[in-house]
Structure 1
Amino acid sequence: MPTSPSRPPYRIGLAANRAHQDAADSALVQLLSMARKAIDFLQPEFVVVGRTLDAMRSHLLLEDYADIERFPYGREGGLMMLVSRVVDPDPARSLDAVIYLMDPVDPSSTFPEALALKRQCVIHGKPFLSTLAGAREWFEFEAIAAGAAPDASLDGSFRLEGEAIALIAHDAMKASMLQLAERHFALLDRFGMRCATGTTGGLLNGLAQRIKGEEAGRDWVRPFRSGPLGGDAQIAELILRRQCRRVLFLEDPHVARQHEADIQLLERAARTVGDYASCSSDVKSVDRWLSLMARRALPSVD
């Protein structure tokens, strides 16, 4: 079994809503089956909420895997304990990433512990992966970063000239979005379409004009309405129509957001087509995602 000697094991929190656990083709089954080679290469430690681990056992998933810590059921505080592990300063206990496969119609996905889990991941710069597509891609990227060969079965989603990406940022995060876009401009320029809400779109087009020239950069990003005026809903439709696979949404977790419902709508759209779409929300994770995407993306076809 191959392993990477380059870094200590990842520690991953894992949970899934019931709809993503029970069926033989559920998101949990698909993820742990399809990502098994990457898991074997990375050898992460898993911290798994009780019912999710029960489902893994019933489906014979990772049955021979030793590094699994069981947490209580969600109703007994398992998710709350995952939140604690995200913020734990002890490197022997702290989680490096959280995979919480969320069903958009399961009310438990809006419980305080679920919201706090995501918020603390954003605050502490740790990936919060709530869709099958996002978690699968994360395993692929991290395995490649550790020296594994790419999974050829995923090649179709890495031909960027045929892909769209959404670039969204709260007011306090717009400067960070511009810095990321400038740092990774060559990669973002390869996407077939870039879209953004309101002010962010205008700022990104200004950046593109500075880099590519006034005419070439004028329509680099397709701007939609501002978030409070419905831009999030417009991009959500693209996601639901499977016309935009990836969303980079830099959130400011420290301020009240008057259009919170619009933000949740966009995330819910990604989770509705969770086998296709993903959403990343913090600067550190997005920066690493862009760096690793550059390594994984397939060459342009002339």
Structure 2
Amino acid sequence: MRLGLAANQLHHAQADAALFRWLRACEAGVRELDLGLHAVGRTYDAIQRAGHLENYAPLRRYPYGREGGLMKLVAEVVGLGEGRVLDGAIYLIDPVDPSSIFPEAIALKRQCVIHGKPFISTVATARDWIEMERVHAGLAPDPGADSLHALETQTMALIAHDAMKPQMLAYASEHFDVLSRFARRVGTGTTGQRLNELAWSRGWPSDSAWVERYQSGPMGGDAQIADLVLERRCQRAIFFEDPHVARQHEADIQLLERAVTTRTDEAACITSPRVAARWAEGARLRKARR
């Protein structure tokens, strides 16, 4: 398995920066998985200077971003043949760095979503992904990840664009047991209502909402949930995005995405049904092995 790897300057400029917090928590897991990391120039150089992943052959250096390194990751997420295929990308985003909205940065996320591959933009999501892949590989759960996976203490946001609402309902139906473990679930407008109707049909008490509903996305629901993330009252989001349509409330959606990356150590986000299903299966396996 191979992932592209990039981090905005903020996230590798200091010894306690986000890139290094992730590596300190997950370097052992990266090595256990023999995970290929294809790192854009400055990110690779920072890892080398900090002394992480020493003598780790699957760590490869790509050109600097200004020389096309991030563009090459986008192309390899799509797939170029001859072994030039990435299984997803870790891009630790600084939400106020202008490079995070450069075309290649936006395209990296979009192509991951289109191809059903993980797009990982926060430390929490990166830690979560490593632990889930360890579990899928048959390895014992890492006690260091227990707090991250204490779902019973967390809030999950469930959001879907109009074209993705059927996939969200199907996902919630298949993984109702895992999603019901959360202390609280929140959602926007129509998606929240349909999820409540699904839950009631599954025996959830009819006088109790399975999902706490906020406004619809265009009416500000994304902004309301972004505020929960910023206040550390929502730790996870599953946001099924439709990358093929223009988004009339683009600024509101970006607000939620920026809130998640602002809380990089606490907020985890998944943006495609395939990745979300693998996460739920891993969460189920991890609980069974504790």
Q: Assess same fold via TM > 0.5.
A: yes
Structure 2 Cα separation of the partners of residues 62 and 289 of structure 1: 25
| In 2, Cα distance between equivalents of 1:67 and 1:213 | 47
C-alpha displacement at 1:158, in angstroms? 2.1
The question of whether the paired residues in 2 share the 8 Å contact of 1:155 and 1:298 is answered with: no
Write the distance in 2 (CA, Å) between the matches of 1:22 and 1:270.
21
Give the CA RMSD over aligned residues: 1.5
Does 2:258 match 1:268?
yes
How many residues align? The count is 290
Deviations 1:245-268 (CA, angstroms, capped at 9, x unpaired): 110000000000000111111010
Residue 153 of structure 1 and its aligned partner are, at CA, apart by 1.6
Give, in whole Å, the separation in 2 of the partners of 1:90 and 1:100: 23
Instruction: Work out whether 1:115 is the aligned partner of 2:106.
Output: yes
When structure 1 is superposed on structure 2, of 81-90 and 267-276 the one drifting more is 81-90
- Structure 2: distance between partners of 1:294 and 1:267: 26
Tell me if structure 1 keeps the 8 A contact 2:164–2:240.
Answer: yes
Alignment of 1:137-148 (within 5 A): 137-148=128-139
Query: Does structure 2 conserve the Cα–Cα contact (< 8 Å) formed by 1:157 and 1:163?
Result: no
- What is the match of residue 244 of structure 1? 234
SS at match of 2:146: helix
Aligned counterparts, 1:152-231, within 5 A: 152-213=143-204, 215=206, 218-231=208-221
- Counterpart mapping for 1:263-302 below 5 A: 263-297=253-287
Contact 2:204-2:210 at 8 Å conserved across structures: no
1:186-241 CA-partner distances (Å, limit 9, x unpaired): 1111111000000000000000110015625x411000000111101111111111
Q: Does 1:254 align with 2:266?
A: no
Q: CA deviation at 1:297?
A: 4.0
- Mapped to 1, the partners of 2:29 and 2:62 lie a distance apart of 24
When residues 161 and 298 of structure 1 are mapped into structure 2, their CA distance, relative to the original with a 3 A threshold, is: farther
**Aligned-partner residue type, residue 243 of structure 1:** R
Percent same amino acid at aligned positions?
A: 53
Q: Is the 8 A contact 1:127 1:280 kept in 2?
A: yes
Q: Retained in 2: the 8 A contact 1:248–1:279?
A: yes
* Cα shift readout 1:84-125 (whole Å, capped 9, x = no counterpart): 000015272100120000001100000000000000000000
Runs of 4+, deviation exceeding 3 Å: 297-300
For the residue of structure 2 that corresponds to 1:228, the secondary structure is coil
Q: 44-53 or 197-206, which moves further after superposition?
A: 44-53
Cα deviation 1:14-53 (Å, max 9, x = unaligned): 0000000110011111111210111111001111100111
Aligned equivalent of 2:94, options 103, 106, 112: 103
Q: Shift of the alpha carbon at 1:296?
A: 2.3
Tell me the residue number matched to 1:12: 3
What TM-score, normalized by structure 1, do the two folds share? 0.93
Task: Point out where structure 2 has 5 or more consecutive residues left out of the alignment.
Answer: none
Confirm or deny: 8 A CA contact 1:158 1:298 kept in the other structure.
no
> What is the one-letter code of the residue matched to 2:106?
L
Deviation for aligned residue 1:66: 1.0
Amino acid at match of 2:275: S
Please point out which of 46, 69, 93 is paired with 1:78.
69
